Amino acid sequence: MILSDKTLKAMLKSGELVVDPIDEQSIQPASIDCRLGDNFLVVEQNQMHVITLDSEIKYREHNGPSIIIPPLSFLLATTQEYIEVPDNVTSFVEGRSSIGRIGLFIQNAGWVDPGFKGRITLELYNASSLPIKLEAGKRICQLVFCSMDQKAENPYRGKYQNQRKTVGSRIYQDTDRVHIGLEQPLEEIKKTA
């Protein structure tokens, strides 16, 4: 169930949900707008030949009130808002329509897990043919909060917990098991299902 402005205001007032700083203009009918921070990361192309999933990615940091993102380019940014999501709530990060209409795509894998605490790192892509000047303090995205059927058994305590500025990919820290092939042919799996 998506949480309404009335519910969000009550949760903010009680401290059950934290969004800081917050002002009345940020609270929309079914979301909370977030503003662009002043810390950015750009992939350091000159120090890497290829990005791999098992090695650390090198970034160049930029701090300041604005940055220009060239056409067909990507960078990481952060929200000004620090959030704390309760263990029984999750959130979707959505770009604002007005931002999307100028060709700026906003993502953060689209999801904030229950239990997350920190600022949101945003992946920004300029899909237009012109450079876009980004300014800190402008409303850039919105958080849509959803109530879960119960508290998460294992709330988020991962590698991005408590981030205070833009954080690059830490995928190289993953401990996934790699499966090269299926141990059981797909047709056999379907027969037993």
Give CA–CA dist 112/150, Å, rounded.
16
- Spell out a b/e string for 7-32, using b for 16 or more CB atoms within 10 Å of the CB, else e: ebbebbeeeebebeebeeebbeeebb
Q: Just list the catalytic residues.
A: 123
Give CA–CA dist 127/140, Å, rounded.
16
Give CA–CA dist 102/128, Å, rounded.
7
Give CA–CA dist 46/62, Å, rounded.
16
